[in-house]
């Protein structure tokens, strides 16, 4: 039996200790947010937060979690309503197939928690590990900007940075 804390709740699961966290989230805890994309840490579809740091949940054996707390897309809610990032993605219609979007939102969350006013370049380089094949990037960038503003910060243009 392995114990893990996901979105503030403790769970006990009966799986092989080498099972990647992703499979536990999806199959044992029925959380749809994190997706299987590559199993190789190359695409970011499975991104979750481990103690505020974005990680590829496809590469983290569940037994290696220790006391670290897991947050997934499902945990990014405020009072039962979508949090600023999911709301902003909806407002910007920042999805086509949407398979990558949960990973995008979670990775962006990590950035905005740490740096409420990143530059556009910082947003782009922070999101670089995550792939989108539909080409929704421009909308994703707009959604992150909108969310940053809703959270009291913003995304600075490069021009602002170097006048």
Give the footprint of other proteins on this chain (CB under 8 A). 15-16, 18-20, 23, 26-27, 30-33, 35-40, 42-43, 45, 72-74, 77, 82, 86, 89-90, 93, 95-102, 105, 121, 123-125, 127-139, 141
Q: How far is the CB of 99 from other proteins (least distance, A)?
A: 4
Q: How far is the CB of 10 from other proteins (least distance, A)?
A: 19
Q: Considering the complex, state which of residue 55 and residue 88 has its C-beta at the smaller distance from other proteins.
A: 88
The helices-and-strands tally (H runs, E runs) of the chain is 6, 7
In this structure, the chain runs to a length of 163
Q: Considering the complex, state which of residue 55 and residue 106 has its C-beta at the smaller distance from other proteins.
A: 106
Q: How far is the CB of 86 from other proteins (least distance, A)?
A: 4
Q: Which of 56, 47, 43 is nearest to 133 (CA)?
A: 43
Q: Which two tokens stand for residue 35?
A: 């997706």
Q: How far is the CB of 149 from other proteins (least distance, A)?
A: 18
Give the residues across from 25 on adjacent strands: none
Distances (CA, A) of 126 to 2, 121, 129: 32, 8, 7
Q: Considering the complex, state which of residue 24 and residue 55 has its C-beta at the smaller distance from other proteins.
A: 24
**Residues 22 and 47 sit within 8 Å (Cβ to Cβ):** no
């Amino acid at each position: 039996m392995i114990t893990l804390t996901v979105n503030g709740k403790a769970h006990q699961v009966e799986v092989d200790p080498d099972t990647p966290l992703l499979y536990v989230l999806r199959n044992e805890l029925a959380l749809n947010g994190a997706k299987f994309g590559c199993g190789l840490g190359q695409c970011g579809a499975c991104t979750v937060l481990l103690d505020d740091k974005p990680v590829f949940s496809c590469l983290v054996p569940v037994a290696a979690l220790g006391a670290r707390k897991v947050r997934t897309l499902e945990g990014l809610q405020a009072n039962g309503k979508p949090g600023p990032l999911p709301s902003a993605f909806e407002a910007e219609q920042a999805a086509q197939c949407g398979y990558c979007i949960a990973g995008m939102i979670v990775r962006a969350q990590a950035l905005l928690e740490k740096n409420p006013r990143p530059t556009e370049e910082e947003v782009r380089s922070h999101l670089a590990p995550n792939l989108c094949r539909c080409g929704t990037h421009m909308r994703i960038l707009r959604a992150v900007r909108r969310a940053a503003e809703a959270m009291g910060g913003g995304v600075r243009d490069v021009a602002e940075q170097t006048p």
